[in-house]
Amino acid sequence: MSKGLLLFGALIVGTSTFLSGQSFRESCYFEFKAANDVLYLPAKTDRYFTSGLNLEYGRRERKTSPSHPSQTKTTERYWRLTQNIYTPQEIDAKRFLEDDRPYASYLTLTRGKFSDTNQQGLSFRWELTAGVLGRYSGGGRMQNAWHSLFSYADEVPGWPNEVKPDVILNYQLGINQRLPISPRLSFTAGLTGRVGTLYNNLSSELKFSWLAIRLGEKRTLSFDLLGRGRLVAYDATLSGGLLNRDERYRGRIQPKPLVGTFGLDATIHFDGLKLSGGLRHLSTEFEGGTSHAWAWFSVGVELNK
């Protein structure tokens, strides 16, 4: 009898614990992001990393403990379509350029997952990317179509010299640790590795974040100041594909083994709307090159289920 009561009590406790466990809140989101060096005013260059377009769709799940509302875990699972375009500094040249950045572009589809624990400040991200490098990605056609819309921009004649087409398959794994300094200031350190046919590198990042305005949970204005160092083992946009070797560039373009990036970003959350933008400054990527800068912006919408 006593054993039966103990078993029944354990069942009640277990059931109540399950029922009073974490609460869930799910949503889906869409985000469009564009980056271009012509947006970096007043410089308005048109070289190196000259254009990037991202379209992302994902599902976001937030788990909150009823007994500790501050303890939350956020998980995002997403798909991202990306097109990036790279051009040499001498963009008007029709001839083959041996000592300049190659014409290159790629089109990829990425599947990723991001997990963040609010209380510990620890987050993880993995991404698997597949796509195509070279003319089948449509980079040259996209750039010339864009230039045709403006009277001051001429057609770019050098795209026949683009790196050879190749298959892209890449994997990325990253970890970040966020440390609060005050209720509105935080410091984040991160480490990210990428391996595959497009990029092979290891990056470390330091970021300071400032929550400038908070009008409730969903109405905020924040700023990020970041610095990133990247150890480069291979970059297909500089040396050509890993599988379909391009001897025109392999060994001629000498990538820098260490590249630095500095950035300043701003983000506005207003209920389900997210508006972001920022600046990037990239150190010299290859021997004989120069540093480069561009600007970016994004628009995102989150829809609750």
Per the CB < 8 A criterion, the answer to whether 100 and 116 are in contact is: no
Domains and CATH numbers, the chain: 23-304 (2.40.128.140)
Tell whether pTM > 0.75.
yes
What mean pLDDT is predicted for residues 62-72?
73
* Predicted confidence (pLDDT) at residue 31 exceeds the cutoff of 90: yes
Query: Where residue 46 falls among pLDDT bands split at 50, 70, 90?
Result: confident
Please write the tens of the pLDDT for every residue from 255-295: 999 999 999 999 999 999 999 999 999 999 999 999 999 99
* Predicted confidence (pLDDT) at residue 5 exceeds the cutoff of 50: no
* Predicted confidence (pLDDT) at residue 211 exceeds the cutoff of 50: yes
Per the CB < 8 A criterion, the answer to whether 234 and 242 are in contact is: yes
Which pLDDT does position 11 carry in this prediction? 42
